[in-house]
Amino acid sequence: MRKILIVVVIIALGLKVTAQEKAKFRVGLDFGYAFAKGGGGGLFSLEPKYNVTDHSNVGLRIGLAAYARNIISDIDLDISVNSNILATYDYYFGKGNSSTSPFLGAGLGIYSLASIKSDSFIYDENEIGAGTEFGGMIRGGVEFGKLRLALEYNMVPKTDFLLGRSIKNSYLGASIGFYLGGGKWKK
């Protein structure tokens, strides 16, 4: 999965790039797919940002991811929903004559977790786990004007259950989104 992120960044760096306008405020909306080990689901995030410089911004991501694992089998079904609020930072590379800009970013914050684990529907051995954990996220991608394509990896602690079992909550997300506001991209 790291290889995919590296390939996206290398391809994006080969494009002519430009910078965003300093001291502008913008809001991003992203929709995508959450790849969890053994399954997947959907993700959504809303992210207001402030352009600190022509090449960087800080923001607050409010996100939600829901995914299921082992859905083909009636044994060991895991369903997880997590919401998050993260402080984020993105850096945009290069200058040029187009509105294409590759970026790398990261975030730290709080993940609220809710998980259901069932070893078998036949024996009705279900457990529910919930909690709030500190976690992080790294991401990379490319923006084409106000359109954004990104890959992100969310590092979230596992959910532990009373019977000693646990569910891993980390996931890879692929998203497409757009921005409202933020001024024009410099050319």
Q: Please give the chain's pLDDT, 187 residues, in tens.
A: 565 555 555 555 544 444 567 878 999 999 999 998 888 999 999 999 999 988 899 999 999 999 988 766 556 678 889 999 999 999 998 665 567 889 999 999 999 998 887 766 555 567 788 889 999 999 999 998 889 999 999 999 887 777 677 778 899 999 999 988 766 555 4
Specify the pTM.
0.81
In this structure, whether the domain defined by 2-181 belongs to CATH 2.40.160.20 is answered with yes
Count of C-beta atoms within a 10 Å radius of residue 131: 13
